[in-house]
Amino acid sequence: MQLSGAQILVQSLKAEGVEYVFGYPGGAVLEIYDALFQLNKFQHILVRHEQAAVHAADAYARTSGKVGVALVTSGPGATNAITGIATAYTDSIPMVIISGQVATPMIGSDAFQEIDMVGISRPCVKHNFLVTDIAELAVTIKKAFQIAQSGRPGPVVVDVAKDVTQATAKFSYPQEEVFIRSYQPVTQGHAGQMKKAVQMLAAAKRPLVYFGGGVTLGNASAELTDFVQTLGVPCTATLMGLGAYPSSNRQFLGMLGMHGTYEANLAMQNADVIVAVGARFDDRVVSVPAKFAETPKKIIHIDIDPSVISKRVKADVPIVGDVKHVLAEMLAIWKKQSLMFNSSHLEKWWQTIEHWRSRDCLWFEPKSDVILPQQVVQTLARVTNNDAIITSDVGQHQMFAAQYYPFERPRQWLNSGGLGTMGVGLPYAMGAYLADPSKDVCCITGEGSIQMNIQELSTCFQYKLPVKVICLNNGYLGMVRQWQELYYSNRESETYFDSLPDFVKLAEAYGHVGMRIHKPEDVEGALKEALALKDRFVFLDFITDQKQNVFPMVGNGKGLYEMVLPPHMRETKADSDVNDVNDRDYDIRSVP
């Protein structure tokens, strides 16, 4: 049967099992929108800005594990999508973004709404295609889905010229995987390397598993949990790994890195063998590699992308492969060889860690006159039984969410780690809810970030998405203000909002419920009331302490052992200079 290119595109997406397409129409995609209308194969979600379309599709992917799909027009539609694409790229999220392009004969003529999408997206996609021949359309869609979700996942752009959508051709969708000669990701770990790794680990005195987003992306949470619990070793997560191992388990030390816990950071610094699992030694995690290397350690690094290994920190045993396979295989070797740690070493390591943990670095004293952001997140965790899907924006509220909400399962926590894109929170909540409507979906945001995609309140009303927005309103671009306080002598340059909208009225104007909460004693009641409104979108505007800071904090150029500690830990130290709190007291080098 002859179909138009637009119809072929829609049928191809259907063949890939697409449930939702997040998009915004325009001239170059008119044919595609017409085919969507006529064929009615899946639901299209009409957002209010293309950036939000890509973020929502990205969140659908993060929540469901499937490929997220966005559709935008040429020119400004395409450029508006770029921030969303780059956000997904830096966090390795599988997506296909279809953009309209001007007709083939017009390409290169500065045509109306022409932009070189292949060129402009090149640095922030896993791959991209320009389709100028209808014969290539279906197979290109097939390849795009294949590339997006295999190996290290990532976004793939398919730019489709308008004349291709108008032409007609016979439709047949490839049933089998398409062979792509230059792209063959390795999934099985090298047997010799895995044996070597397991033996190195067994000889450790101070072992640590450090895991990241790769465990969630590779659906390997069960294998990780089995590995850590069988070996009895401590583990720590990156911001992107949170939830891949249950936070409430004693073997979990919390998040590490710039705003990691005291115990996780000191364990990472002082471990003698580290198993890095789907984590990329980001600069927010190990800070300065030279300082990280000050304490000698061996590193086993498991990652599906060989280019990540030894990029920032040299690996002693590199293992390229899919974490699900590699962890299961390493555990099988461990059991088969009846390996064990030296129990007195392991016991001593745990004692040291428990000592660090007993300093209770996330402790805080609630105030009677003003709401603390930490209190809101902690209360939210309690009233949702640690079970809600949490999205966040970027800033202090993001770090408070990461520190105070105990994530118990993978895909429960959605945030922008790599690009740190303010404005993701609300569209992430939309995509997450559509992917899993069985859960409460809460967006923890700041009054700065929420305004970057506030127009999506309208989309939420149209599709009746009962998201709960938890705005930790401190009146400041708080994370930037924190840096100004600590490192720029408190010069608050352009970080205070002189005027903010009335978020309650704004929510109501969009047809939603709005609530403003000033008093600490009202936090729990307000959250319960909002969550009880199962079918309604509720905007909770929590007026919080304006000058709270996120601690611990590893400042620029500092090592993991040089955290700026929270006030309650500083009081016990002689040196409480906030800029130079060098916590070497419990450094293993001084513990006999």
Could you give the CA distance from residue 437 to residue 271 in angstroms, rounded to a whole number?
41
Distances (CA, A) of 324 to 90, 238, 277, 303: 21, 18, 10, 11
- Residue 76 CB, shortest distance to ligand TPP, in Å, is 18
Residues 301-320 that bind ligand FAD (CB under 6 A): 302-305, 308
- What ranges in 187-322 are assigned the alpha helix state H? 191-202, 213-217, 221-231, 262-270, 283-286, 289-292
Q: Which does 91 bind (CB under 5 to 8 A by kind): ligand FAD, Mg ion, ligand TPP, none?
A: ligand FAD
Q: Is 50 a catalytic residue?
A: yes
Q: Is 184 a catalytic residue?
A: no
Q: Is 534 a catalytic residue?
A: no
Site size for ligand TPP (CB under 6 A): 20
Residues 252-291 that bind ligand FAD (CB under 6 A): 255-260, 278-280, 282, 284-285
- Asked if residue 285 binds ligand TPP (CB under 6 A), the reply is no
Q: Given 162, 324, 468, 558, which residue is catalytic?
A: 162
468 forms beta bridges with 442, 538
- Taking the least distance from each CB to ligand FAD, the nearer of 13 and 565 is 565
Q: Is 479 a catalytic residue?
A: yes
Tell me which DSSP letter residue 176 carries. S
Residues 456-475 that bind Mg ion (CB under 5 A): 474
Distances (CA, A) of 386 to 59, 229, 504: 19, 21, 27
Q: Which helix (H) or strand (E) holds 80?
A: helix 76-90
Site size for ligand FAD (CB under 6 A): 38
319-329: buried (b, 16+ CB within 10 Å) or exposed (e) per residue?
bbbbbbbbbbb
Applying CB under 6 A, among 431, 478, 514, 520 the residue interacting with ligand TPP is 478
Q: Is 398 a catalytic residue?
A: no
What is the DSSP annotation of 508-574? HHTT-EEEEE--GGGHHHHHHHHHH-TTS-EEEEEEB-TT----SB--TT--TT-PBPPHHHHTTSS
Report which of 472, 520, 522, 474 is spatially closest to residue 370, judged by C-alpha positions. 520
Q: Are the C-beta atoms of residues 413 and 381 closer than 8 Å to each other? A: no
Q: Given 43, 112, 351, 464, which residue is catalytic?
A: 112
Q: Are the C-beta atoms of residues 575 and 549 closer than 8 Å to each other? A: no
Provide the sign of the torsion angle of the four alpha carbons 527, 531, 533, 537, taken in this order. Answer: positive
Applying CB under 6 A, among 80, 269, 391, 396 the residue interacting with ligand TPP is 396
Q: Given 16, 31, 50, 223, which residue is catalytic?
A: 50
- Taking the least distance from each CB to ligand FAD, the nearer of 149 and 375 is 149
Q: Are the C-beta atoms of residues 269 and 367 closer than 8 Å to each other? A: no
- Asked if residue 417 binds ligand FAD (CB under 6 A), the reply is yes
Q: Are the C-beta atoms of residues 379 and 523 closer than 8 Å to each other? A: yes
Q: Could you give the string, one character per residue 462-501, with x where binding to ligand FAD holds by CB under 6 A and - elsewhere?
A: -----------------x----------------------
Residues 393-452 that bind Mg ion (CB under 5 A): 446, 448
- Asked if residue 217 binds ligand FAD (CB under 6 A), the reply is yes
Give the catalytic positions in this structure: 50, 112-113, 162, 479
Query: Rule CB under 6 A: which residues touch ligand FAD?
Result: 91-92, 152, 212-214, 217-218, 238-241, 255-260, 278-280, 282, 284-285, 302-305, 308, 322-323, 394, 398-399, 417-418, 420, 479
Query: Rule CB under 6 A: which residues touch ligand TPP?
Result: 393-397, 420-423, 446-449, 472, 474, 476-480
Query: Rule CB under 5 A: which residues touch Mg ion?
Result: 446, 448, 474, 476, 478
